[in-house]
Amino acid sequence: MLNPYAKNLTQYKNNEVLTATPERLMIMLYDAAIQFLFKVRKAIDDNSPEEICNNVIGCQKILREFMKTIDLEHGNDVGKYLFVFYDKLVKKLYKVNRNRDKEILESVIEDLKTLRKAFLDAIDIATKERAAAAQPLIDTEE
């Protein structure tokens, strides 16, 4: 029997994605990529080649989507470095898939966690700057 709450959960997740800010969507994608890699870890332990492959591909798709959003022609150096970094992660995941290399897998997981935290920090700084800019100036002259 199917979980009676599955339909509600699916609706909730759809609503969460549809109403999320672009910043929140990016964090959700990082979370999904990391979750794919946790599943790869388990699949390696379970010796399940199909699960390894499917979850590696899922993570690689997210990384490629990140790469598509970077404007290499008009963007800055940070974007170009990030593009190269994402590309290296995609290539590392090919090795994970082919060789079942948990050491490389763990390094990719840590890299994605680091990037996720960096983006969260950047979002926090931008939010504080927007809030400060929205504050009315206090008139000290009277």
Whether the CB-CB separation of 44 and 102 falls below 8 Å is answered with yes
pLDDT, position 6? 63
pLDDT, position 48? 97
pLDDT, position 133? 86
pLDDT in single tens digits along all 142 residues of the chain: 566 666 665 655 555 656 678 899 999 999 999 999 999 999 999 999 999 999 999 999 999 999 999 998 887 898 999 999 999 999 999 999 999 999 999 999 999 999 999 999 999 998 898 888 887 656 555 5
Whether the CB-CB separation of 88 and 107 falls below 8 Å is answered with no
Q: Domains of the chain by range and CATH? A: 22-120 (1.20.120.340)
The beta-carbon contacts of 123-130 under 8 Å, at least 24 apart in sequence, are 123/23, 123/27, 126/23
Distance CA 110, CA 116 (A): 10
Instruction: Specify the amino acid at residue 44.
Output: I
DSSP 70: S
Distance CA 112, CA 92 (A): 12
Whether the CB-CB separation of 60 and 97 falls below 8 Å is answered with no
pLDDT, position 18? 61
pLDDT, position 142? 55
Whether this prediction's pTM lies above 0.85 is answered by no
Structure-block tokens of residue 18: 């549809």
